[in-house]
């Protein structure tokens, strides 16, 4: 859904006002007032059904000739609801009045999926751990076990201390041996 409603002012002639018959949105949007002629004031008003879920900061807007102005319409429709109402646009002190049916559809609670998730990965790209040498990783793991066993031996302080110490030394020697083989 688009988030900009365009209102053409003075395009077809002095005080002309062209707007779409209907505008659909799922939340807040912008009314872009495009003035193609003489400077004018534009009055914007939300009817009762829309004013329960939204507001416009200011109702009257001056638009210089050949200029445009963006007016934000804040909508806070609760998720899972839909609402329909009218936005009234008035120019030339009431000489031109147009109504746009605004359909607020906040019922879409679907999950937004990143489009890149559907793109296959590059088969030529290396795996995340492709540069890690398995022998080196194994030696680090065994060395880590040796350190843990040494710490456990110190903390145990009973008859198993010697056994843990021997195992820690052996694990360390195996780790060093594997690391030097590469």
Residue 57: closest CA among 77, 75, 78: 75
Instruction: Give Cβ neighbours of residue 78 (< 8 Å, ≥ 6 apart).
Output: 53, 106
Interval 150-163: pLDDT, tens: 767 666 666 566 66
Q: Domain spans of the chain?
A: 4-108, 131-181
Residues of the chain with pLDDT under 70: 1-2, 108-112, 121-130, 151, 153-164, 178-182
3-state class (DSSP) for residue 138: helix
When the candidates are 3.40.50.2300, 2.60.40.10, 3.40.50.150, 3.40.50.720, the CATH number that belongs to 4-108 is 2.60.40.10
pLDDT value at position 115? 74
Instruction: Give Cβ neighbours of residue 130 (< 8 Å, ≥ 6 apart).
Output: none
């Amino acid at each position: 859904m688009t988030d900009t409603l365009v209102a053409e002012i003075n395009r077809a002639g002095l005080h002309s006002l062209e707007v779409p018959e209907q505008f659909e949105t799922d939340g807040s949007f912008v009314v872009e007032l495009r003035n193609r002629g003489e400077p004018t004031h534009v009055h914007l008003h939300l009817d009762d059904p829309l004013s329960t879920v939204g507001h416009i900061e200011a109702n009257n807007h001056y638009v210089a000739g050949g200029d445009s102005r963006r007016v934000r319409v804040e909508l806070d429709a609760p998720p899972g609801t839909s609402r329909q109402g009218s936005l009234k646009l008035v120019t030339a002190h009431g000489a031109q009045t147009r109504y746009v049916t605004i359909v607020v559809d906040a019922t879409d609670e679907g999950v937004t999926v990143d489009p890149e998730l559907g793109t296959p990965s590059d088969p030529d790209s290396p795996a995340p751990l492709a540069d890690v040498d398995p022998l080196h990783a194994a030696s680090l793991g065994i060395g880590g076990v040796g350190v843990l066993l040494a710490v456990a031996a110190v903390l145990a302080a009973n008859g198993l201390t010697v056994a843990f110490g021997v195992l820690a030394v052996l694990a360390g020697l195996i780790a060093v041996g594997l690391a030097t083989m590469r």
